[in-house]
């Protein structure tokens, strides 16, 4: 897992429940009660063992173009990439080249650059790529209110908002 915020942690828990060993790769390695959280720079060393690489990190200078030919050269031929983070984290020509050369197995992509995915993109018809419609969060008021209420209460009580964007970090 690259990115281990609220979404990444929940995906990690779900994968662990399925019996997968989960490691998180984050900007700054840290102790965590649930998962090993390693520095993003450690990813190439662990990638040969991985069969699943999930991207759910924000787009930062460090994550832009993260999945490129250099990183994919460390991957396993059976590696599946799932990107629910940001489209610009994947260098699409490098991804297609790795898939075509058998250096990885599959890609499941929910985000693209640009979005929406252009009609003539080779990702639409590639036999090893699954394109999903980038609709992962609640979008109706009924579905969103339970997510918003805790922070509305915290705000009303003068407490710090949880999960607020840190503009200095860019996410």
DSSP 3-37: --SHHHHHHHHHHHHTT----EEESS-B--SSS-E
33-78 pLDDT, tens digit each: 999 999 999 999 999 999 999 999 999 999 999 999 999 999 999 9
76 part of the active site: no
112-142 pLDDT, tens digit each: 999 989 999 999 999 999 999 886 666 677 8
Cα-flanking dihedrals φ and ψ of residue 151, to 5°?
Answer: -75, -30
Q: What six digits make up the tokens of 49? A: 């063992």
86 part of the active site: yes
4-40 pLDDT, tens digit each: 998 999 999 999 999 999 999 999 999 999 999 999 9
Helix, coil or strand: residue 2: strand
Residue of 30, 134, 167, 169 marked catalytic: 134
Query: Domains in the chain and their CATH numbers?
Result: 6-136 (3.40.50.720), 137-171 (no CATH)
Burial label, 139 (beta-carbon count in 10 A; 0-12, 13-18, 19+): exposed
Residue of 86, 142, 153, 169 marked catalytic: 86
Query: What's the confidence (pLDDT) of residue 15?
Result: 97
């Amino acid at each position: 897992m690259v990115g281990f915020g609220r979404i990444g942690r929940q995906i990690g828990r779900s994968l662990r429940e399925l019996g997968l060993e989960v490691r998180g790769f984050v900007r700054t390695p840290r102790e965590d009660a649930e998962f090993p959280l390693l520095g993003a720079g450690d990813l190439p060393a662990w990638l040969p063992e991985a069969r699943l690489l999930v991207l759910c990190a924000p787009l930062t200078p460090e994550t832009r173009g993260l999945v490129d030919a250099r990183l994919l050269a460390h991957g396993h031929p059976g590696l599946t990439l799932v990107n629910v983070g940001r489209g610009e984290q994947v260098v699409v020509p490098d991804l297609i080249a790795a898939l075509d050369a058998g250096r990885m197995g599959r890609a499941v992509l929910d985000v693209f650059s640009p979005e929406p995915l252009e009609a003539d993109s080779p990702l639409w018809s590639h036999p090893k790529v699954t394109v999903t419609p980038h609709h992962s969060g609640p979008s109706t008021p009924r579905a969103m209110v339970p997510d918003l209420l805790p922070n509305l209460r915290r705000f009303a009580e003068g407490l710090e908002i949880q999960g607020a964007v840190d503009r200095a970090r860019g996410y």
